[in-house]
């Protein structure tokens, strides 16, 4: 069952990103709430995983969106790029605030 979930996440970037963000938020709040070092490590890991997930699906967050001819696919790619930037800013901002 976990293998099927991982395969679905790798094939569908929208579902994968949603699951990754949900797991990240829960882990950071519940598991690492009292441990700032582990929270920082978890943020690095989750940003890296998000970056790898969207790059694996051919979505490069720092390049302008180019139309592929499928509006739904373009909307998902644009949304994931938008999601990546605040996550990266949150990662950097939280690291600066805690230090």
Tokens linked to 49: 């995983």
In order along its 99 residues, the chain shows pLDDT tens digits of 566 666 665 567 777 777 877 887 787 777 777 777 777 777 888 888 888 888 888 888 888 888 888 888 888 888 888 888 888 887 777 655 554
Residue (of 5, 50, 53, 3) closest to 24 by Cα position: 50
* pTM tops 0.75: no
Number of domains in the chain: 1
C-alpha–C-alpha distance, residues 14 and 27, integer Å: 20
Q: For residue 40, what are the domain limits?
A: 2-98
């Amino acid at each position: 069952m976990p293998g099927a979930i991982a395969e679905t996440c790798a094939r569908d970037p929208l579902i994968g990103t949603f699951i990754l963000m949900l797991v990240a938020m829960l882990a950071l709040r519940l598991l690492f709430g009292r441990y700032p070092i582990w929270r920082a490590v978890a943020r690095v890991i989750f940003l890296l995983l998000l970056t790898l997930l969207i790059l694996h699906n051919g979505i490069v967050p720092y390049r302008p969106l180019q139309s592929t001819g499928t509006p739904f696919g373009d909307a998902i790619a644009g949304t994931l790029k938008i999601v990546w930037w605040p996550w990266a800013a949150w990662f950097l901002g939280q690291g600066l605030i805690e230090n």
